[in-house]
């Protein structure tokens, strides 16, 4: 690594003015550091040099001519005409007919956050249109993922004339065949990968249909985003029929809090319309109009309006806990109730279940990591265990992916020898397509998903064959993704530059999440003044820069890693560059900046 001198500007944070010749080719974690998106000499062309938000937008791939549209993402600025999606008008017409006739409607949702928010959105919208829709959420352990034929037939025979599946159904061939003779129509609203052949539904709205044209540009939408577009199409259809001539039209925009939560929790890419959904949805959530979400916010210990990070790490996991280790319908019940006492009771129960989920997750993670340690360097980290709780395998797969830098699949095998698996992928590796291909090869009983996540059902005797198949299919993609990996930087500054004003400026380019990464800065050179291990293996340090200013830093879960050991052993005589996320610590009302360390490199 080499460095040349530069002058930090703690009060003005233009990236162009904070661009030293910082070259890190091999950090402590063994990765190069590079600028995100733009080269340094391109960063101040065509706009005011101190416009940090513009720099952040350009570095995330926004064309110069679209800067203003992305600077403040609005629904109006990104909303497509819903009719560009195949079957959207058919679905909207059928739902409108149900509203006009007062038909009994059931919303069939998945048991995760995307499914719960999608179901809650349509239930709340249909209630506002005079219907009393019912919710059906399958039990993860007893019924598994997606609509079963038995469940659809039961719903039809209970009197429903229209079923809308949300966040599931794209692969429900057998289930749709079983219910075909019943007097019920089924609309599928999904976003998971589709096969060339589609199940026999009245309508199937999914931007990831293989025959999609314009709608395919929105393949990154979560199911709740697709449900929102269906809601818009439904209101437009009813408006055209004069339905609102003598009654108030429901305000679909008030349901954006649900769209934001489902989008973030499902790790959908925060680009285009999704970013607008989350930006505006957070504003709706801050008003506290949804009684259930407000109760959950309190149960999670949040003392201010939720942020994008809170959706993914505080609220989402608690709603998921109902489907993972408790009652599958708790999430939908919470998000659709207007009774404050009921909301408090459900939120408290979800909070308790989340603690139970954490304990189970820790045990399965330890067992999975032990199995993984005995495997070779496969392209996909695939482990299976007897009796593992299927409600936590998706989270464990995420842990393994983070630890190994490879796609990971975790399979829980039940007493009958059937494995339920959940997988998480890395950028550039389409795990959902690989799982569908494995299903087509006869390796799976069922399977599907999208690029970054997938689920499957498999006979235990075929697990080794599946691992071999995935290695052969994905090895080149995984190798390419790992070779291309680098730590991407948005700014380089002195330790004193990590200040609240900088963080405020960086946050203006948000919301950040999947596909729209939070800014990362490099700070230094610094010397470590104090360093110790706290909590569950976190390395905490106070560092001082050459400008004499000090900042607090922390490296989460790094005590036993090369990074953690380097920080603990550096002492005050060695200089380092630190790379990470600048965050605000607001404990006791103070606003102090700190750095969450992702990597480090020796400065001398």
Positions of the chain with pLDDT lower than 70, given as ranges: 1-21, 37-50
Q: How far apart are CA 240 and CA 232, in angstroms?
A: 12
Q: By CB neighbour count within 10 A (0-12 exposed, 13-18 middle, 19+ buried), where does 199 fall? A: buried
pLDDT value of position 494: 87
Sequence-ordered list of residues with C-beta below 8 angstroms from that of 178, at least 6 positions apart, any chain: 149, 150, 152, 153
Phi/psi of residue 279, each to 5°? -60, -45
CA-based end-to-end distance of the chain: 8
pLDDT value of position 50: 52
The radius of gyration computed from the CA coordinates of the chain, to the nearest angstrom, equals 25
pLDDT value of position 7: 33
pLDDT value of position 588: 72
Paired sense of beta strands 521-534 and 538-545, if any: antiparallel
User: Over the stretch 416-436, which tens digit does the pLDDT of each residue have?
Assistant: 999 999 999 998 899 999 999
Q: How far apart are CA 222 and CA 428, in angstroms?
A: 19
**Cα 446 → chain centroid:** 23
pTM here is 0.87
Question: In the beta sheet, which residues pair with residue 521?
Answer: 491, 580
pLDDT value of position 325: 82
pLDDT value of position 591: 85
pLDDT value of position 482: 75
Q: How far apart are CA 383 and CA 377, in angstroms?
A: 13
Encoding tokens for residue 379? 């392209």
Q: Are 120 and 250 in contact (CB under 8 A)?
A: no
Q: How far apart are CA 289 and CA 149, in angstroms?
A: 37
């Amino acid at each position: 690594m080499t460095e040349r001198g530069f002058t930090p500007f703690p009060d003005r944070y233009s990236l162009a003015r904070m661009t030293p010749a910082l070259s890190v080719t091999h950090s402590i974690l063994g990765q190069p550091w590079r600028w995100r998106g733009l080269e340094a000499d391109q960063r101040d062309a065509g706009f005011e040099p101190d416009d940090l938000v513009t720099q952040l937008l350009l570095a995330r791939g926004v064309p110069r001519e679209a800067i203003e549209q992305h600077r403040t993402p609005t629904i109006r600025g990104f909303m497509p005409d819903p009719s560009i999606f195949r079957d959207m008008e058919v679905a909207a017409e059928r739902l409108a007919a149900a509203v006009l006739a007062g038909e009994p409607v059931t919303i069939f949702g998945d048991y995760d956050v995307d499914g719960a928010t999608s179901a809650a959105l349509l239930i709340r919208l249909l209630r506002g249109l005079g219907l009393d829709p019912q919710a059906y959420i399958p039990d993860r352990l007893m019924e598994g993922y997606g609509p079963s034929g038995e469940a659809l037939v039961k719903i039809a025979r209970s009197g429903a004339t229209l079923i809308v599946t949300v966040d599931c159904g794209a692969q429900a061939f057998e289930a749709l065949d079983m219910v075909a003779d019943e007097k019920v129509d089924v609309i599928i609203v999904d976003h998971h990968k589709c096969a060339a052949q589609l199940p026999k539904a009245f309508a199937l709205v999914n931007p990831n249909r293989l025959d999609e044209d314009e709608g395919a540009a929105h393949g990154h939408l979560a199911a709740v985003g697709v449900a929102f577009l269906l809601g818009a199409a439904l209101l437009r259809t009813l408006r055209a029929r004069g339905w609102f001539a003598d009654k108030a039209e429901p305000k679909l925009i008030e349901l954006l809090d649900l769209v934001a939560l489902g989008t973030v929790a499902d790790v959908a890419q925060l680009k285009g319309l999704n970013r607008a959904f989350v930006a505006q949805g957070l504003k709706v959530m801050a008003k506290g109009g949804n009684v259930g979400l407000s109760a959950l916010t309190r149960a999670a210990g949040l003392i201010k309006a939720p942020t994008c990070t809170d959706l993914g790490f505080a609220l989402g996991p608690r709603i998921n806990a109902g489907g993972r280790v408790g009652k599958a319908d708790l999430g939908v019940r919470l998000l659709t109730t207007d009774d404050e006492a009921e909301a408090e009771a459900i939120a408290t129960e979800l909070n308790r279940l989340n603690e139970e989920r954490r304990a189970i997750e820790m045990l399965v993670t330890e067992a999975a990591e032990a199995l993984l340690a005995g495997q070779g360097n496969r392209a996909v980290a695939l482990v299976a265990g007897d009796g593992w709780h299927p409600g936590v395998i998706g989270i464990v797969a995420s842990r393994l992916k983070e630890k190994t830098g490879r796609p990971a699949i975790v399979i829980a095998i039940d007493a009958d020898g059937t494995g339920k698996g959940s997988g998480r992928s890395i950028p550039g590796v389409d795990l959902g397509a690989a799982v569908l291909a494995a299903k087509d090869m006869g390796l799976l009983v069922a399977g599907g998903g999208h690029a970054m996540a997938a689920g499957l059902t498999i006979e235990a005797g075929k697990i080794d064959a599946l691992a071999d198949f995935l290695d052969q299919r994905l090895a080149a993609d995984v190798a390419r993704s790992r070779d291309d990996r680098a730590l991407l930087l948005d700014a380089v500054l002195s330790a004193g530059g990590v200040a609240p004003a900088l963080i405020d400026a960086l946050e203006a380019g948000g919301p950040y999440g999947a596909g729209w990464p939070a800014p990362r800065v490099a700070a230094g050179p610094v010397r470590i003044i104090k360093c110790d291990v706290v909590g569950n293996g976190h390395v905490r340090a106070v560092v001082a820069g050459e400008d004499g200013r000090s900042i607090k830093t922390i490296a989460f879960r790094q005590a036993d890693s090369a990074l953690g050991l380097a920080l603990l052993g550096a002492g005050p005589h060695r200089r380092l560059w630190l790379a990470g996320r600048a965050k605000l610590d607001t404990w006791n009302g103070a606003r102090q900046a700190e750095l969450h360390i992702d990597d480090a490199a020796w400065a001398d």
